[in-house]
Structure 1
Amino acid sequence: MAATSGLDDYQLSIRRLSERIVAAQVPIRILDAVKWDDGVREGFFAQGAQALPAVDRDYYLARPLGFDPAAKKQELQAIERDITSQLGQFSPVGQIMRRMCKEYRMVIRMLEGRGTADFGLISQELYGAATDAFHAGDPTLADLGLMLSDYLNAIAARGDLVDEAKTLDASQAVNLLQQRLSALFGDDTVRVMVSDGILADAAAGADYIKLRSDARFNERDVRALEVHEGMVHVGTTLNGLNQPICTFLAKGPPSSTVTQEGLAILMEVITFASYPSRLRKLTNRTRAIHMAEEGADFLEIYRFFLEQGFSAEDSYANSSRVFRGSLPDGLPFTKDLSYLKGFILIYNYIQLAVRKGKLEQIPLLFCGKTTLEDMRALRQLVDEGIVVPPLYLPPQFRDLNALSAWMCFSNFLNHLSLERIEADYANIL
């Protein structure tokens, strides 16, 4: 954490309020609170995968949150009041911090509602719904998921784009990823390690990345981890920890998840680290969430993933992501919409920044766990010296020449009719 020496009284007030938010959110662990334990999975398969998982309201009540929800909401409300009384109603940094307090209170209400309809409804408020449009009259996330699935299924049907064999064990992948991240961040800045205690193949922390001990990888997987987990998730955390005043930028409420995952997917795309089967996972999760919003239960979602070619274990894992925190026949947990939703929002933001000649705004996406709606305020706070620019930036955002050129062409190409182009190219493709 950055030192407080040299800060004036106003800056110290912001720092103290910021640290109160950071401390208040420590016990609020969304994914830990909503995940299903191994017993649920074992019971599901013991029933031949023919009955809904044994998860009800009592299942969650038997798993306390680890903090007093009422007291935590009061604590966040008190911080919000102090932000207004000390910084004023219209302070840009105060507006950001008050929004964070409100959002964390909403998270607590969502977690209190585990196993009820409220959980899914509040999840939609925090992360969005598959039926949300980006702009009036535009396609929805559900439309995007279907469109991308059509493209990706057509590619998969060819059979000639086979994923590389996963020839690297966890230790080999750790060594390769550590070499790459050391070159980016410095030798001792980011640690990569093997872990037995994670469910996913990889997980990022403040200054480390863990790889599951029994997972297998290929070099393309390692490249994706380098840009997704390393350059974005760890990089933005380190930049947030480097903030001398706005220490809250090291921690992200749900609204920053959309920015984080959008940046991560964008980085995968522009570094050519992504690939069709990886993208299919995201589109299928989006489609599954939409199906659940339309009334599909766990068994229907599980069978959908089986139809998409996933194994029984992977189909269960993907389906449980949709209903964690909810009931097996309830509204979905919509966090996994953040990937595609964030990608579109971040892409549009960068495109408009290039069009309007505001390139200096683009790297600020990496100054911590940011939210798009705060970007204008963050630009002002950088100018005032309240927020420092990001120390760690991916090469693609450190020198914006290539990215700007790409976006200039993209702005033009967006005005062309793909249907007209398809008709004109019919005789040559």
Structure 2
Amino acid sequence: MNSLNELDDYQLTVRALSDRIVEAQTPIRVLDAVKWDDNVRSNFLKHKGKKLPAVDRDYYAGRPLAFDTAAKKLEFQNIERDITRQLGQFNPVGQIMRRMCREYRMVIRMLEARGTEDFGLISQDLYGAASDAFHAGDPTLSDLGLMFSDYLNNIDRRGDLEDEPKNLSAKQAVDLLQHRLNKVFGEAEETIRVFESDGILADAAAGADYIKIRADAVFNERDVKALEVHEGLVHVATTINGQNQPICTFLAKGPPSSTVTQEGLAILMEVIAFASYPTRLRKLTNRTRAIHMAEEGADFLQVCDFYREQGFSLEDSYSNASRAFRGSSPTGLPFTKDLSYLKGFIMVYNYIQLAVRKGKLEQIPLLFCGKTTLEDMRTLRQLVDEGLVVAPKYLPPQFSDLNSLSAWMCFSNFLNHLSLDRIEADYANIL
């Protein structure tokens, strides 16, 4: 990594502006700001799931943010202004950094609007809506969720693809995951810490150099493999690759636009590493369907009932439904971040497919050089050529050797031209 005294004046200017963005975003913790506390859960369970949670504008007012929102928006405004003053209107890296400043200001406005209708509307601007189409005339995310549900129902009806027993405690999962990640990241300064935590909603969550495992969760070996590739080889690896950037330090931090790309990469890695499975895919499709239901007017109780119909306990149904309504109200528009998984998967898959088709394989590993966004990929290629961005140090094996991935995508490009409806009709007598 270059030291600061090895950078020229232009590189120092970019680095200084990038560092200001990293510093400014530090206190903004979206998931902490929108989550509901244990009292909400306890009261819901006490009323047997028959009463809407008591969450409204006043509830969030009692949980103030850790920063002055007006001052923080002004800080990002000043950074954006200085980017233009020092780099110019059309400078490529400046355009990325200015967009990040605008996104963070929008994030702050969303957090200011917790408990109101504006919260959900701004969330849709940042993360998208379930009714969004991928391309003109294509199915929407909600269509994709329903389609996947139909496929999964057909698999369920077989009755012979049951999940392996959850025979690993959180502590055992921590030990196994730590062992696997040590093989990837080594025992050096960038060793990843894996530990138990009581304060997370999901089974696991990744930080800059750690992965937290929910203390009361249980796992099997397939779960641990999925965590290894999803949280370790993607989320933690891209954070460390971003931290290794000598100039564009902003790549270590992810605004909402990068969330879609990051989660899409993580799901793609699960698929190509054969770490995913029907129950895990069902979890993602259910999240998409829950958000779509809320967008269409369903309240918290109706979304909770949807999960109960899927066979979840009342407690698990509450946890799942609260993901869709956190930051909002039990009758409001949803928090749409969980659309990032399926949306990102489709977008990243299509990007890699096109990169292979056009022979631009060098573009693909750059997805891992930090918290990247698809719309910036051409610019990032340019920044690598200019020496402003360094190639990723940590890459999953499927992306460090692109032979197999390229072959798969070549076949996939051809298969996309075949009509599945016609195939189904022609294969009717042999399937």
Question: Which residue number in structure 2 is paired with residue 182 of structure 1?
Answer: 182
Please list, as runs of the form range in 1=range in 2, the aligned pairs for 1:8-407 lying within 5 A after superposition. Answer: 8-188=8-188, 189-407=191-409
Superposed CA offset, 1:161-203 (max 9, x none): 1100111112221221112111111124212122233332211
Cα distance between partner residues in 1 of 2:340 and 2:201: 19
Q: By how many angstroms is 1:5 displaced? A: 2.8
Give, in whole Å, the separation in 2 of the partners of 1:171 and 1:2: 39
Distance between the aligned counterparts of 2:178 and 2:273, measured in 1?
18
Tell me the distance in 2 between the aligned counterparts of 1:208 and 1:27.
19
> Secondary structure of the equivalent of 1:362?
helix
Task: Work out the CA distance in 2 between the residues paired with 1:16 and 1:318.
Answer: 41
Amino acid at match of 1:337: L
Does the 8 Å contact 1:236/1:369 carry over to 2? Answer: yes
Equivalents in 1 of 2:5, 2:378: separation in Å? 27
The aligned length equals 429
Distance (whole Å) between structure 1 residues aligned to residue 365 and residue 291 of structure 2: 32
Task: Assess, with a 3 A threshold, how the Cα gap between structure 1 residues 334 and 2 changes in structure 2: closer, same or farther.
Answer: farther
SS in 2 for 1:203: strand
Which SS does the other structure have where 2:82 is aligned?
helix
Q: Which amino acid aligns with 1:316?
A: Y
Q: Measure, in 2, the Cα distance between the counterparts of 1:361 and 1:225.
A: 26
Q: Distance in 1 between matches of 2:53 and 2:152?
A: 30
In the TM superposition, residue 3 of structure 1 has moved relative to its aligned partner by 3.5
- 4+ residue segments displaced more than 6 Å: none
Q: Which amino acid counterpart does residue 219 of structure 1 have in structure 2?
A: E
Taking the aligned partners of 2:367 and 2:247, their CA distance within structure 1 comes to 17
User: Which runs of 5 or more residues in structure 1 are unaligned?
Assistant: none
Contact 1:195 1:211 in 2 (8 A): yes
Distance 1:145 1:57, change over 3 A: same
Aligned AA (1:10): Y
Question: Is the CA contact 1:2–1:241 (under 8 Å) kept in the aligned structure 2?
Answer: no
Residue 147 (structure 1) shift: 0.1
1:2–1:242 contact (8 Å) kept in structure 2: no
Contact 1:285 1:336 in 2 (8 A): yes
Q: Separation in 1 of the partners of 2:145 and 2:85? A: 45
Residues 127-180 of structure 1: CA deviation (Å, up to 9, x unaligned):
000000000000000000000000011111221111001111122212211121
How big is the shift at 1:2?
A: 6.6
Aligned letter for 1:327? S
* 3-state SS of 2:212 partner: strand
- Deviation per CA, 1:321-379: give whole Å up to 9, x if none: 00001010000000000000000000000000000000000000000000000001000
Q: Which amino acid aligns with 2:401?
A: D
- Counterpart amino acid of residue 4 in structure 1: L
Residue 150 of structure 2 aligns with an amino acid whose one-letter code is: D
1:37–1:5: structure 2 CA closer, same or farther, 3 Å change rule? Answer: same
Q: Distance between the aligned counterparts of 1:214 and 1:329, measured in 2? A: 30
Contact 2:196 2:213 in 1 (8 A): yes
Preserved contact between residue 73 and residue 108 of structure 1 (Cα < 8 Å): yes
Q: Which amino acid aligns with 2:117?
A: A
Q: What's the offset of the Cα at 1:74? A: 0.3
Of 401, 416, 422, the match for 1:420: 422
RMSD: 1.0
What TM-score do the two structures reach when normalised by structure 2? Answer: 0.98
What SS does structure 1 have at the residue aligned with 2:205? strand
5+ residue gaps, structure 2, are none
> Quick one: which amino acid aligns to residue 69 of structure 1?
T
Structure 1 distance, partners of 2:422, 2:198, is: 53
Secondary structure class of the residue paired with 1:98: helix
Structure 1 residue identity aligned to 2:249: T
- Measure the CA separation in 1 of the matches of 2:59 and 2:196: 31
Deviations 1:196-244 (A, max 9, x none): 3333221111111121222211110110000000000000000000000
* Alignment check: 8 A CA contact 1:14 1:246 kept: yes
Q: Distance in 2 between matches of 1:205 and 1:187?
A: 18
Task: Report the Cα distance in structure 2 between the residues aligned to 1:2 and 1:60, rounded to whole angstroms.
Answer: 44
SS at match of 1:5: helix
Query: Structure 1 vs Structure 2: percent identity of aligned residues?
Result: 80
